[in-house]
Amino acid sequence: MASKIRSRIVTTAVECFSEQGFHGCSTKEIATKANVTEGSLFRLFASKDKLFEEALDHSLAALLPQSEFQKRLAQPDLRAAILDACSAMFSKISRQTLRLATYALLEGKGRSSEKCAPHFEARVSAVASRIRLALKSRKIRKDVNPKDAARMLLLSLFHLRHHSVLLNAKAGKGAVENIVEIWLRGIAT
């Protein structure tokens, strides 16, 4: 029973914090929307900060798992591998997760940088490893720094997703393909 209530509170907190940020959303509002008392909320979460951290963890857990991202990168064709992995990752970045992470970083809440950075850096490392394989087969220019190239690609995709969320615009597979194509042309031999 407590786990269902906890889950309901976290889900409600994600919704509230992603729309209003940490400072714009009260624990009373979260409790009311979750159909619990504020006292019940604080019995399960020591503080509003702890609730925010758990909401951020919950959101980040919904991203494409690293193992799935790496599996998609393992395809023999570089273009297909990068496009497949990036498209799958892009589709899993929800509006709520992006907004919550943005508020977390802007408001300096919940050790957000410590929580977000490993998700990003793990994907950077995976793409950089794939680039190193392509370097061995001479499909990539030898002066390309794999980590920098991977970071550039993923930052471009995150910026695209962020802008599409902020502007309430659709940025679908065509936009991801364009970024991947430009990136591949920039690093190809």
Residue position matching structure tokens 């919550």: 100
pLDDT of residue 111: 61
Residues 6+ apart with CB under 8 A from 121: none
First to last CA, the chain: 59
CATH class for domain 2-59? mainly alpha
Query: CA 117 to CA 1: how far, in whole Å?
Result: 34
| Token duo for residue 38 | 């504020």
pLDDT of residue 109: 65
Residues of the chain with CATH 1.10.357.10: 63-187
pLDDT of residue 171: 64
Q: Which CATH number fits domain 63-187: 1.10.357.10, 1.10.3720.10, 3.40.50.10860, 3.40.50.12160?
A: 1.10.357.10
Q: What are phi and psi of 168, to 5 degrees?
A: 50, 40
Query: CA 87 to CA 89: how far, in whole Å?
Result: 5
List the chain pLDDT tens, one digit each, 189 residues.
778 999 999 999 999 999 999 999 999 999 999 999 999 999 999 999 999 989 988 888 888 888 999 999 999 999 999 999 999 988 888 888 888 888 887 877 656 667 777 888 899 999 999 999 999 888 889 999 999 999 999 999 888 888 887 777 776 668 889 999 999 999 987
